[in-house]
Amino acid sequence: MGELLGTTVELEVTNVAHGGVGVARLDGRVVFVADAIPGETVLARISADDHASFWRAETTSVIDPSPHRRPHVWQSAALERDPDARAGGAEFGHIDLPWQRELKRQVIVDSLQRFAKLTDHTALDVVVEPVAGDDAANGLGWRSRVSLHVDSDGIVGPYAARSHRVVAVPDLPLATPAVEYASPLDERLFGAESVDVISDGRRGARVVVHAPAAGERTPPAGKPPVGKPIVERVGEREFRLDELGFWQVHHRAAATLTGAVQRQLIEQLFDADAPNLDLYGGVGLLTAAVGDRFGAGTRIESVESDARATENAGFNLRDFAKATAVTARVDRYLGQMLRTMTSADRGRFERASVVIDPPRSGAGKQVVKSLLELRPAQLVYVACDPVAFARDLGQLDAGGYELRSLTAFDLFPHTHHVEAVGVLTPR
């Protein structure tokens, strides 16, 4: 092991893997190849060969290019840069937009087949839809939030791809103009560790510089500062949140997901008086989406582990008479519900609709197990990771739930990330 590290090899890339890398084989071993497109023949430098089942490589030049290859939208991440200095965060920037979405579709379908064991299912015909305006902008200018890092020399920039090395860059083409303009790329921030640049919810941006605690290179354990409040607008509704709190990164993502949840909820199964839930509810975005779809008297509770987000959710949902927001870990909340439930409670919950928008790691076995015991009338699963979604879906399918519909959205152009919204009901 290690004898191939740094070696340049010729590879034929056959398909795409989750994570935005191509897949090739060398001496019978799988090689995950960055900056390549399925169908290409490339020269690539082996960057890791110490894993038992696969190696990693970075493309250095293209021998036989794909017809879908384009000049990279971000020169700081292009092949012309040494692989060690290529900026991360735009791993699909060398691929034309429609083909990026096709590759993301392939990853979703592969995940559903491998981890959820779906075969001959209409969900396998899913299409990754663009967000309005992105094609006209060539997928640029959408990031309303950017996290940058600072090295020991005070240089501000993103990490190099698949590393923790800060690289200097002159621009941030995926960021909104206000966020890019406010980013201190040409400054030296000695003593700082990282920088968040956040849209202020209007036309400007805020810069938050993070410094480690005295005598430490990294901040002590605990929650980061939440920052000042900002207001985001989705349609006619306003949402208060802390500037460092969670909000969708694409400036049109919140509206896109609101519309998707509202369209995909099955009206015939929705009971406004049932104990409906929005799990991992954040500041109440999807709770409000449900309330706006089915009326101000809809009963629904947002469950979120972050106390500040819950406080903001309570404020944002104040015009819904029967909407509540609680601070709790979802697994513990559902476990407590199961422990205290009466038979009458169970009957009411079986009429409920549950929206679930878990983190990238997915809901996990315990949360899914609890949902299967509770058996709501419908589950609306908002997924930001196709593999985690497929794993949860496999458990739900084995427990008696059926995937009724699935849509996907390209909320992260020029990256490998993709969002999906699925609706499941008991068989």
Q: Is 248 annotated as a binding residue?
A: yes
How far is it, in rounded angstroms, from Cα 75 to Cα 50?
30
Q: Is 333 annotated as a binding residue?
A: no
How far is it, in rounded angstroms, from Cα 335 to Cα 329?
10
Report the chain's C-alpha Rg in angstroms: 23
Angle among Cα 281, 256, 206 to the nearest 5 degrees reads: 70
Which phi and psi angles does 365 have, rounded to 5°? Answer: -60, -45
Q: Which residues contact 221 (CB under 8 A, 6 or more apart)?
A: none
How far is it, in rounded angstroms, from Cα 158 to Cα 97?
23
Q: Is 357 annotated as a binding residue?
A: yes
The answer to whether the CB of 90 falls within 8 A of the CB of 174 is yes
**Bridge partners of residue 232, in order along the sequence:** 239
Q: Is 82 annotated as a binding residue?
A: no
The residue count for the chain: 427
Q: H-helix or E-strand containing 204? A: none
The active-site residue out of 36, 309, 384, 387 is 384
210 included as an active-site residue: no
Token reading at 221? 């354990």
Q: Please report, to the nearest 10 degrees, the dihedral formed by the alpha carbons of residues 242, 414, 121, 383 taken in order.
A: -10
How far is it, in rounded angstroms, from Cα 385 to Cα 389?
6
Angle among Cα 98, 386, 356 to the nearest 5 degrees reads: 120
Nearest to 176 by CA among 210, 150, 201, 208: 201
Sequence ranges of the binding site: 248, 280, 304, 357
Task: Give the residue numbers of the binding site for S-adenosyl-L-methionine.
Answer: 248, 280, 304, 357
Active site residues: 384
